[in-house]
């Protein structure tokens, strides 16, 4: 029997699209009040409108760049001013940029951005919010890892490195928070069709579409469902890790494709 999110506050980073958007909606449906952040505020506003339509409760939707300390500080201050407390932090904001072997990468800016977003951004949000999650008495950190954090693949060295780091950080947090009222969960999806591959290939839609050609990828809603499940378990139940793949995927790069694709 699950617990309700009613009366609880959840933050979702990277909620302007994909898994973050679907998670914010799923948590609103589970009764949570939402604070959502991302850099594209117009897309975020549309998500906020949808959340209000579904739940009747207006979320706090604010610009957030997890790579920018000032932005993170301003976002968290606004959340605390509006709600005074935080129960759930979903560290979702993240990206892959490029799919080239390490020695063929032309410039290192993409590496820096992946490290800054996926690792430093997650740490920045977590460090500031842990005291508030403890104070809530029913805190929960949900980090979005990846199958790429379990198995490295050629052309994914730095992205996989960031997700291996997320897995290590999640494990360390669970040790550090042992005995405190904060659960720590890693959600590790395989291939999910979102804006992820469009971002990875710098807007090349045809190349992004080819990633999912002839197979049935997961949807953002599939992952949101797992996150909603984890955060609505009774408070003594900690889901450590969920690895979720499409039926058409086994391992990081083994994919069953049909129609000769
Ligand atoms: P999307 O590209 O659809 O969503 C990424 C989200 O992150 C967007 O809302 C984007 O918003 C936000 N974001 C990016 N940079 C920043 C930043 N600096 N500060 C705040 N928000 C930021 O991809 P997904 O939904 O697929 O990705 C979400 C997470 O899931 C990522 O951590 C990804 O690594 C992980 N993942 C994805 C998988 C997949 O196959 N799709 C599989 C496994 C894990 P904006 O640009 O407006 O800031
Ligand atoms: C995203 C899944 O397969 O592109 O984390 O690395 S994959």
The bound ligand whose nearest atom lies closest to the alpha carbon of 12 is: 1
Please give the model's pTM, rounded to 2 decimal places: 0.98
Nearest CA, atom 23, ligand 1: 196
Determine whether the shortest distance from the Cβ of 12 to ligand 2 is under 6 A.
no
Closest CA to 218 of 244, 238, 236, 239: 244
Q: 18-29 vs 220-231: helix axis angle to the nearest 10? A: 40
Kindly report, residue by residue over 150-165, the tens digit of the pLDDT: 999 999 999 999 999 9
At 106 the pLDDT is: 87
Determine whether the shortest distance from the Cβ of 231 to ligand 2 is under 6 A.
no
212 is catalytic: no
Looking at CATH, the fold of the domain delimited by 9-244 is given as Rossmann fold (3.40.50)
Q: What are the sequence ranges of the domains in the chain?
A: 9-244
One of 83, 159, 201, 212 is an active-site residue; which one?
A: 159
CA of 146 to the centre of ligand 2 (A): 6
Kindly report, residue by residue over 237-256, the tens digit of the pLDDT: 999 999 999 999 999 889 99
Kindly report, residue by residue over 73-101, the tens digit of the pLDDT: 999 999 999 999 999 999 999 999 999 99
Determine whether the shortest distance from the Cβ of 146 to ligand 2 is under 6 A.
yes
The bound ligand whose nearest atom lies closest to the alpha carbon of 191 is: 1
Which backbone phi and psi does 14 adopt, to 5 degrees? 65, 45
The bound ligand whose nearest atom lies closest to the alpha carbon of 19 is: 1
> Distance between CA 193 and CA 212 in Å, rounded?
7
Determine whether the shortest distance from the Cβ of 19 to ligand 1 is under 6 A.
yes
Determine whether the shortest distance from the Cβ of 98 to ligand 2 is under 6 A.
no
């Amino acid at each position: 029997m699950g617990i309700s999110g009613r009366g609880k506050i959840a933050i979702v980073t990277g909620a302007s699209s994909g898994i973050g958007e679907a998670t914010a909606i799923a948590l609103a449906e589970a009764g949570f009040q939402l604070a959502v952040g991302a850099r594209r505020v117009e897309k975020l506003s549309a998500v906020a409108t949808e959340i209000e339509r579904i739940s009747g409760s207006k979320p706090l939707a604010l610009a957030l760049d997890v790579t920018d300390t000032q932005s993170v500080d301003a976002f968290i201050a606004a959340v605390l001013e509006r709600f005074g407390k935080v129960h759930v932090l979903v560290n979702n904001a993240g990206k892959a940029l490029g799919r080239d072997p390490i020695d063929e990468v032309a410039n290192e800016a993409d590496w820096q951005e992946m490290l800054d977003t996926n690792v430093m951004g997650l740490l920045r949000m977590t460090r500031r919010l842990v005291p508030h999650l403890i104070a809530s008495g029913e805190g929960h950190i949900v980090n979005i890892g990846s199958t790429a954090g379990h198995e490295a693949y050629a052309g994914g060295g730095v992205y996989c490195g960031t997700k291996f780091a997320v897995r290590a950080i999640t494990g360390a947090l669970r040790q550090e928070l042992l005995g405190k009222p904060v659960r720590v969960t890693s959600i590790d999806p395989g291939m999910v069709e979102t804006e992820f591959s469009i971002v990875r290939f710098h807007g090349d839609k045809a190349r992004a579409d080819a990633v999912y050609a002839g197979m049935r990828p997961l949807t953002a809603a599939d992952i949101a469902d797992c996150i909603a499940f984890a955060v609505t378990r009774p408070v003594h139940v900690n889901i450590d890790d969920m690895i979720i793949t499409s039926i058409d995927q086994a391992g990081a790069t083994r994919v069953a494709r049909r129609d000769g694709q």
